[in-house]
Amino acid sequence: MIMQQVIILGAGLSGLTTAYELKKMGIRPVVLEARGRYGGRIWTLEGEGRATPLEMGATWFGEKHQHLMGMLLELGVGYFDQYSQGKALLESMSFAPPQHFDLSASEEPYHRVLGGSRSLIEALVSRIGKENIRLNTPIQEVREQKEGLKLTAVDGSEYQARLVVSTLPPRLLVKTVRFSPALPKKLVKLMGQTHTWMSESVKFAVEYERPFWREHGFAGTAFSQAGPATEIYDHTNFDGTAFALKGFLSPGTAQLKEDDRREMVLRQLVKLFGLEAANFLSYIDWVWANEVYTHQPYDSYILPHQNSGHPDFALPLMNGKLFLSGTETSPEFGGYMDGAVLSGLLAADRVALL
């Protein structure tokens, strides 16, 4: 078993950022990812009709997200403004017609990654090198040794490293990985009470042959207190060649079958945008609570972003051999892509100093 200098747990945006930054510093880490894919909570799928990039995970960002913007610039990955021209809709009651309102022209526009958020992940993976990332490798135990840490995967394979950076959501980490010796009780409690960004989200997208809502003066933006879709947005690609409406479903829809969710969504879209909404090319949704490498059921009510960026997450563990990273640990914009990038940058700097 070869002793690695650095092992990173998780090939999401934070883990890949850490690996990329370390590689620039002359340190070649090994990234272990539980899933069979890269990206973590960035997950771009393609519509079956026109191969429209459909975001089931992280999607939007703004000018205030400077760490993410800087990373996109450095990697040469483009972005474009979220479409927001025309009337927006507010559905306050299921039995009443939706209200129309104008979107504020003074608000700062939100952006989307050109080609889908996957473009950022693909750019990082290409620079890190796929040979340095091992997929399908969930870790179940971290044991301290004299010169480093020994990691044992679910399949029994073992890895050793002088330093380990975990980018798993704190609650997921503490619920799925055994530590020997055990982590401090106060920290374990904090990790268990930290909200995992995206874990309760149910996202959907409906692909269309053309953006009929634009033709009728609608922005594609809708907010609903009646559901099942609580937020809806235009999801047309940058080139204007592939079209979709995309948004969030209420968390309770996670208990339904996908076919039932589809029928409910289409009825709502017809009510909001007219009969043309029924003539769709493809439908897809994603229930993040079903993702075992994202979500761990909560023991009690946890507020959105609860304990994100807690200062205790910045403290080294296991005699300075283990570091916590990931968007939930970020001191700024915890739970967002910008927080994921910042946490990765900070983790790389901490490791490089040792």
> What does each of the 354 residues of the chain score in pLDDT, given as a tens digit?
678 999 999 999 999 999 999 999 999 999 999 999 999 999 999 988 888 999 999 999 999 999 999 999 999 999 999 999 999 999 988 777 888 888 776 578 899 999 999 999 999 999 999 999 999 999 999 999 999 999 999 999 999 999 999 999 999 999 999 999 999 999 999 999 999 999 999 999 999 999 999 999 999 999 999 889 999 999 999 999 999 999 999 999 999 999 999 999 999 999 999 999 999 999 999 999 999 999 999 998 999 999 999 999 999 999 999 999 999 999 999 999 999 999 999 999 999 988
Q: How far is CA 54 from CA 12, 47, 75, 241, 246, in A?
A: 18, 7, 22, 13, 8
Q: How far is CA 155 from CA 116, 152, 166, in A?
A: 33, 8, 19
| Same-domain check for residues 1 and 150 | yes
SS3 content of the chain, % helix, strand, coil (to 5): 30, 25, 45
End residue of a domain, out of 243, 269, 290: 290
| Residue ranges making up the domain that contains 21 | 1-42+121-198+291-354
For the domain that residue 179 is a member of, what is the CATH number?
A: 3.50.50.60
| Same-domain check for residues 237 and 272 | yes
| Same-domain check for residues 131 and 268 | no
| Same-domain check for residues 273 and 208 | yes
| Same-domain check for residues 102 and 28 | no
pLDDT of residue 106: 56
Cβ density class 311-329: b for 16+ within 10 Å, e for less: eebbeebbeebbbbbbbbb
For the domain that residue 66 is a member of, what is the CATH number?
A: 3.90.660.10
| Same-domain check for residues 277 and 224 | yes
End residue of a domain, out of 272, 290, 308: 290
pLDDT of residue 49: 84
Q: How far is CA 289 from CA 82, 129, 154, 303, 331, in A?
A: 27, 30, 21, 16, 25
| Same-domain check for residues 237 and 170 | no
End residue of a domain, out of 263, 290, 317: 290
Burial class (CB in 10 A: 0-12, 13-18, 19+), 61: buried
| Same-domain check for residues 217 and 325 | no
What is the spatial distance between Cα 4 and Cα 163, in angstroms, rounded to a whole number?
Answer: 8
pLDDT of residue 216: 94
Pick from 146, 147, 153, 188: nearest CA to 171: 188
What is the spatial distance between Cα 175 and Cα 187, in angstroms, rounded to a whole number?
Answer: 13
| Same-domain check for residues 315 and 204 | no
Strands 111-113 and 60-61: antiparallel
pLDDT of residue 97: 85
E strand or H helix at 212: helix 212-215
What is the spatial distance between Cα 231 and Cα 135, in angstroms, rounded to a whole number?
Answer: 33
∠24-25-26 over CA atoms, to 5°? Answer: 90
User: Tokens 């563990």 label which residue?
Assistant: 317
| Same-domain check for residues 179 and 150 | yes
| Same-domain check for residues 143 and 111 | no
Q: How many domains does the chain have?
A: 2
| Same-domain check for residues 96 and 136 | no
